[in-house]
């Protein structure tokens, strides 16, 4: 509870600072580069619509990976059992709503891999220069991948070892800064704008996140205890991270088609609290690595728009001799239509 309170206070202070600094920088740039900005503005076309609807399908095969730095132990990989997510995004002028649900699974699939409870909440506000994204997603219930590595008696007709007790969630926010009006995040991934010609921009992303891991017994399989002595009793962990990731985004434009890419790489500061031994906690401060790659192929016409998007986010939690890596690969496909504003 004390870590949660600390994070909420930090979140409020960081949000205020980012908002204030972002508005100040934005105002100074407008005054300094007013004439120059007007010329660059011509590369971005705002699509004014009354109603837009976009059904989508999303697959996010996340992974919780545990490995030691000297490679003496087996790589431990847990996965949630999520077949896919379907939903739709609806926009009416300035109001945007999103609804999604987990795809149903067969009894055999649940027997083999278990049943995962999944929550995903995402709120995004993106302007030409500054973007703000609040997120929460969590999984409860994982299965062990490649169980033959940990139990020689396991056979393929048996269910994968399941950990219904593993509860993992993370929440926080990211603020991104776009330094050139030759590139638009909204055009590349939201398709509420269009770029008239190819262009790119330097991007800076800054944001904190809180991560929690809880389970009833150690997350390390029994056969690997001797190889993971620094986390052999790991059942609870709380991590507060502040990531700073510079990068670049570029869109290749051909008529109404675009190929868009964004790569951010960096690190930051991480405060860890975890259970090293039974009923004994340890506090650590580390410098983690962070990476985000996003790519999309999109068709963006007046009334019809469609896209296929891929993203890969990597978060690391370096402890001592052990490193926890959380992978978030995501594939999303959708097609939608919109009714243009008659005043456009």
Separation between Cα atoms, residue 61 and residue 57, nearest integer Å? 13
Considering only CA atoms, give the Rg of the chain: 22
235, 294 Cβ separation under 8 angstroms: no
Under DSSP, the state recorded for 231 is G
Separation between Cα atoms, residue 203 and residue 231, nearest integer Å? 37
Q: Is the pLDDT of residue 41 over 70?
A: no
Mean pLDDT over all residues of the chain? 85
Q: Is the pLDDT of residue 178 over 50?
A: yes
Rounded (10°) angle between helices 2-32 and 34-41: 100
Separation between Cα atoms, residue 309 and residue 59, nearest integer Å? 11
* 26: confidence class by pLDDT, cuts 50, 70, 90: low
CA dihedral 220, 222, 226, 227 (to 10 degrees): -40
- 67 to 242, 312, 325: CA distances (angstroms): 23, 19, 8
**H or E segment at 69?**
none
User: What domains, with CATH codes, occur in the chain?
Assistant: 2-340 (2.40.128)
* 344: confidence class by pLDDT, cuts 50, 70, 90: low
**3-state DSSP assignment of residue 35:** helix
181, 128 Cβ separation under 8 angstroms: yes
* Full-model pTM: 0.82
Rounded to an integer, the average pLDDT of 226-254 is 93
More confident residue, 65 or 22: 65
Residue 307 confidence (pLDDT): 95
Please name the residues in contact with 316: beta carbons below 8 A apart, sequence gap of 6 or more. Answer: 288, 289, 290, 323, 324, 325, 326
CB neighbour class for 179 (10 Å; exposed up to 12, middle 13-18, buried from 19): middle
Reported as a single tens digit per residue, the pLDDT across 82-122 is 888 898 888 887 677 777 888 888 999 999 999 999 888 88
The residue to which tokens 């169980």 are assigned: 147
* Nearest C-alpha neighbor of 232 from the set 276, 281, 168: 276
Q: Is the pLDDT of residue 313 over 90?
A: yes
Q: Is the pLDDT of residue 38 over 60?
A: no
């Amino acid at each position: 509870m004390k870590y949660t309170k600390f994070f909420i206070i930090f979140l409020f202070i960081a949000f205020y600072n980012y908002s204030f600094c972002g508005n100040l920088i934005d105002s100074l740039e407008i005054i300094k580069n007013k004439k120059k900005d007007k010329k660059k503005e011509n590369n971005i076309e705002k699509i004014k619509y009354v109603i837009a609807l976009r059904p989508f399908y999303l697959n996010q095969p996340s992974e919780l990976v545990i490995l030691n730095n000297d490679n003496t132990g087996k790589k431990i990989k847990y996965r949630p059992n999520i077949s896919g997510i379907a939903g739709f995004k609806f926009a009416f002028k300035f109001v945007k709503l999103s609804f999604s649900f987990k795809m149903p699974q067969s009894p055999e699939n649940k027997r083999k891999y278990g049943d995962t409870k999944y929550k995903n909440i995402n709120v995004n506000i993106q302007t030409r220069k500054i973007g703000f994204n609040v997120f929460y997603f969590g999984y409860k219930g994982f299965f062990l991948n490649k169980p033959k590595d940990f139990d020689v008696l396991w056979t393929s007709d048996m269910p994968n070892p399941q950990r219904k007790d593993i509860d993992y969630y993370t929440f926080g926010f990211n603020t991104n800064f776009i330094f050139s009006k030759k590139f638009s995040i909204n055009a590349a991934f939201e398709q509420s704008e269009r770029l008239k010609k190819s262009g790119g921009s330097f991007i800076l992303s800054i944001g904190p996140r809180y991560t929690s891991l809880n389970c009833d017994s150690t997350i390390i399989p029994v056969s690997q205890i001797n190889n993971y002595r620094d986390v052999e009793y790991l059942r609870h962990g709380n991590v507060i991270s502040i990531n700073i990731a510079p990068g670049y985004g570029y869109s290749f434009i051909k008529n109404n088609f675009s190929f868009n890419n964004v790569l951010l790489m960096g690190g930051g500061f991480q405060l860890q609290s975890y259970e090293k031994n039974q009923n004994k906690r340890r506090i650590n401060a580390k410098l983690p690595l962070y990476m985000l790659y996003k790519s999309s192929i999109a068709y963006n016409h007046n009334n019809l728009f469609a896209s296929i998007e891929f993203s890969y986010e990597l978060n690391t939690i370096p402890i001592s001799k052990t490193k926890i890596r959380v992978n978030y690969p995501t594939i999303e496909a959708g097609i939608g239509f919109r009714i243009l504003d008659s005043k456009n």
